Structure 1
Amino acid sequence: MNDALRAALAESGHSIESLAGLVGVDRKTVARWLNHDHIPHPRHREAAAGVLHRPIGDIWPDTSRRREPVWFRPWQEIERDAVSLRSYQSVVLPGLLQTEAYARAVLVGADVIARSDIERHLASRLARQSILNREDPPRFTAVVDEAVLRRPVGGRATMREQVNALIAICEAPHVRVHVVPATVGAYAGLNGPFVIAVGAEQQIAGYLDNQLQGEVVTGTKDITAILAAWENVRGEALSHWQSVDLLTEMAETWT
């Protein structure tokens, strides 16, 4: 727990509700800030520290020590505060659904990260997955191309473990996985992967990945285009349970 924030609330006489109202966020957002590993957006950190009359560093000390790359931090903060996440992947599985072995194989195979930094990046990726296990997880919907599930990332044993892990998490009520079958021809997903996040205040942000680093987009035209792409890829995908049946068949092929 973030004991410094808890103490600041008690000393100031503020409650989670009153701080949320003054900062302009949802009550659940402030409640998540009480988790030690949940860092608010910079503008929310500044506003909360002002309300509590405490230096930012006293409540959230040295956030620069975090393990993720600097360019990824804005998206990670959006991801942590999201109430809904929609992810489309055409090349690899979403990071939030990757097993440790699969994630390591992806990071090593990409060959853009120094080998000495692989474990640090791996730890950061696996730590992000905790948002799907918290008490109030976001609704997470993933659409993946069938080719992703047939590529032997890490070898047969790694793929067998990964596909079985996908089948298991599909049982969670807040997780939905949809597969675009190989029989589908050209569709919007061929233009590349993306993620759509919806925050507690219904604000929408998108994330686009590339060979060097990711890009967060919030402009109206960009969001409209990404939402249209989502409707296209979701429309071409199998239903959740049809996808689970396909995953079950695929697990057998990796034995």
Structure 2
Amino acid sequence: MEDERTADLIRAQLRRQRALAGWNQEELGRRTNYSASTISAVETGTRAMDLPFATRADEVLETGGLFVSLLGMAARNRQPSWFKPWLEAERFAQQLRYFNPTLVPGLLQTANYARAVLRFDDTRPEDEVEEQVGFRMERQEILTKARPPQVVAVIDESALRRRDAIMGEQLAHLLKMAELPHIHVHVIPADAGLHVGLSGPLALARSADGNWVGHLENQLAGLVVDGEDGMATLLARWEIVRGVALPQALSVALVKEVESQHGPQ
């Protein structure tokens, strides 16, 4: 029911914003490079709004990211119950810690990289992929708000050396994020050998009251950890993982070296 209300809101807002601009469907289509029939299909619900459409509509209608945010809202409503407590912890955190031995963490992913990751599940419908991409982009808005959290991300070098075509763009984005004073990117070099982080990814969030919440993922689901003993273990493992990684300057230099192998962007 909640999903239906959000979908209705998206359609109503598209009609409203178009009317405020004084355009018919054909004019909006011309300005967004979509056909009038596509605009009609989105407004009537026979076609779901995807992220490229939402992004272009926001740009043309100058909505300040309204449609991308609405897509994120729709995706948030679809999130499994085990993930929602982590989303709340992440949204209001003052400090965030991410480690992944195989992928770039979600908050630092480009839309194309996120899209490729979400397509790992080859049974996921394309409109759901786009909805989830939009949601991931919306989650990243905490990185650019007035008082953003401090973010420390540790990434294994192997995750950076994937030869996919999207990696050049992703590495350039990672370097751009690392320029922000509150985002710290560290890379575990390939010659680091075995370490506890190879057991799997972990994420940690510290709230304003000083409490930590952890999140662990596996192939089927995820687990939010907030008990004292569990958090003590995760914090200890984080310190080990962080200790294995290169300092920021050397990490950035390594990312630049890997990016250079993909040619100019």
Runs of 4+ with >4 A deviation = none
| 1:116-150 deviation digits (Å, cap 9, x = unpaired) | 41111111111000000000000000001001001
CA distance in 1, matches of 2:142, 2:131: 19
Q: CA deviation at 1:200?
A: 0.3
Equivalent in the alignment of 1:244: 252
CA distance in 2, matches of 1:170, 1:109: 27
Equivalent in the alignment of 1:42: none
| 1:14-44 deviation digits (Å, cap 9, x = unpaired) | xxxxxxxxxxxxxxxxxxxxxx9xxxxxxxx
Equivalent in the alignment of 1:179: 187
Structure 2 unpaired stretches of 5+: 1-65, 67-72
Q: Does 1:119 align with 2:130?
A: yes
Equivalent in the alignment of 1:30: none
Q: CA deviation at 1:64?
A: 8.1
Equivalent position amino acid for 1:164 in 2 = A
CA distance in 2, matches of 1:196, 1:112: 30
| 1:36-88 deviation digits (Å, cap 9, x = unpaired) | 9xxxxxxxxxxxxxxxxxxxxxxxxxx88844513222111110110000000
Query: Residues 68 and 138 from structure 1, CA distance in 2 versus in 1: closer, same or farther, beyond 3 angstroms?
Result: farther
Equivalent position amino acid for 2:175 in 1 = I
Query: Residues 70 and 64 from structure 1, CA distance in 2 versus in 1: closer, same or farther, beyond 3 angstroms?
Result: farther
Q: Does 1:205 align with 2:216?
A: no
Query: Residues 253 and 83 from structure 1, CA distance in 2 versus in 1: closer, same or farther, beyond 3 angstroms?
Result: same
Equivalent in the alignment of 2:202: 194
Q: CA deviation at 1:189?
A: 0.8
The count of aligned residue pairs is: 191
Equivalent in the alignment of 2:80: 70
Equivalent position amino acid for 1:209 in 2 = E
The partner residue of 2:141 within 113, 124, 130 is 130
CA distance in 2, matches of 1:209, 1:151: 21
Aligned pairs (5 A) from 1:8-23: none
Using the aligned pairs only, state the percent identity.
41
Give the alignment's TM-score, normalised by structure 2: 0.69
CA distance in 1, matches of 2:121, 2:174: 22
CA distance in 2, matches of 1:129, 1:65: 14
Partner SS state of residue 183, structure 1: helix
Structure 1 unpaired stretches of 5+: 1-35, 37-62
Query: Residues 65 and 228 from structure 1, CA distance in 2 versus in 1: closer, same or farther, beyond 3 angstroms?
Result: closer
Give the alignment's TM-score, normalised by structure 1: 0.71
Are the equivalent residues in 2 in contact too, given 1:68–1:121 (CA < 8 A)? Answer: no
